[in-house]
């Protein structure tokens, strides 16, 4: 995402949620130092995603129902198409995949999801796209040394090894990453964008509903902005939310779509 364009979005977000530019920048610098000489090259992420169909799993309330559908008939599900799609999990959604026997290819996280499953994803070989912001500095210090397959992101000006692809919440940031890495299509799963917290969102959720609504509103606006950019990437939505520019589909449509393009 163009830096000047993103900086305008960031100022809107910062104004609405009272974020500190200094703290966000300090977090980015810390992450940059912590992953010095061991961050994965972006070429690894591009090789995974470019030209492929990407499923982005959010941790919304509808995720569990969708996972049940995915697992109900392994012969006609994502299980049988594992080599045809890229699975990106937004933070705690990685737990849902792992609990159902599916390894995420990449996890996009600011580290406030279930640490056991974040670490498990890393051990299984998932690319861990770790986001630094002013509110998760202690989590960075605790978790980053334990991760092996790491790429860093920030919501302020990028550094040489900490990138800014655009996006705000883990879910919409995953979409921006897939878009930047030139996916063939992107499908949203469990991306409810409402005020209800899904069971995979956080291990022990204590949520300020007003803040969550603001965050989800920005996530939706950013996704609709991205859809309006007209990149030619197919954009689909298996979630109950309505996001302008993303075509709402049913699970059977997704399965057939992937089979047709395999």
Domain assignment of residue 251, given as a range: 3-261
Q: Identify the H or E element spanning 27.
A: helix 21-34
**What CATH number has the domain bearing residue 114?**
3.90.1480
What is the reported pLDDT for 257?
A: 80
Q: State the 10-residue block means of pLDDT for the chain, 262 residues long.
A: 93 96 98 97 97 94 87 64 85 93 95 95 98 97 98 97 97 98 96 76 65 92 94 92 95 82 69
Cα(98)–Cα(121) distance, rounded to whole angstroms? 8
Q: Which residues of 53-80 are buried (b: 16+ CB within 10 A; e: fewer)?
A: bbbbbbbbbbbbebbebbeeeeeebbee
- The size of the chain, in residues, is 262
State how beta strands 53-57 and 85-90 pair: parallel
pLDDT for 12-36, tens place per residue?
999 999 999 999 999 999 999 999 9
The count of structural domains within the chain is: 1
Query: Which pLDDT score, from 0 to 100, does residue 232 have?
Result: 87
What pLDDT is stored for residue 23 in this prediction?
98
- Specify the pLDDT at position 80: 64
Prediction pTM value: 0.95
The pLDDT score that the predictor gives to residue 177 is 98
Q: Is the dihedral of CA 18, 245, 193, 185 positive or negative?
A: negative
């Amino acid at each position: 995402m163009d830096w000047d364009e993103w900086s305008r979005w960031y100022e809107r977000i910062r104004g609405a949620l009272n974020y500190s530019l200094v703290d966000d920048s300090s977090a980015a610098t810390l992450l940059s130092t912590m992953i010095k000489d061991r961050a994965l090259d972006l070429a690894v992420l591009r090789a995974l995603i470019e030209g492929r169909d990407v499923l982005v799993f959010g941790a919304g309330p509808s995720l569990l129902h969708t996972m049940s559908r995915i697992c109900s008939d392994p012969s006609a599900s994502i299980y049988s198409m594992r080599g045809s799609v890229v699975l990106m999990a937004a933070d705690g959604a990685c737990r849902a995949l792992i609990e159902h026997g599916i390894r995420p290819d990449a996890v996009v996280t600011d580290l406030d999801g279930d640490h056991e499953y974040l670490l498990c994803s890393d051990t299984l070989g998932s690319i861990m796209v770790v986001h630094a912001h002013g509110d998760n500095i202690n989590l960075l210090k605790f978790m980053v040394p334990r991760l092996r397959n790491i790429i860093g992101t920030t919501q302020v000006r990028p550094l040489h090894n900490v990138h800014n692809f655009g996006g705000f919440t883990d879910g919409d940031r995953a979409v921006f990453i897939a878009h930047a890495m030139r996916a063939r299509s992107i499908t949203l799963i469990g991306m409810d964008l409402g005020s209800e917290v899904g069971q995979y969102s956080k291990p022990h959720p204590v949520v300020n509903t007003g803040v969550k609504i603001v965050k989800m509103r920005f996530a939706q606006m950013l996704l609709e902005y991205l859809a309006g950019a007209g990149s030619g990437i197919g954009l689909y939505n298996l979630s109950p939310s309505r996001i302008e520019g993303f075509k709402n589909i049913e699970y059977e449509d997704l399965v057939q779509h992937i089979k047709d393009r395999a």
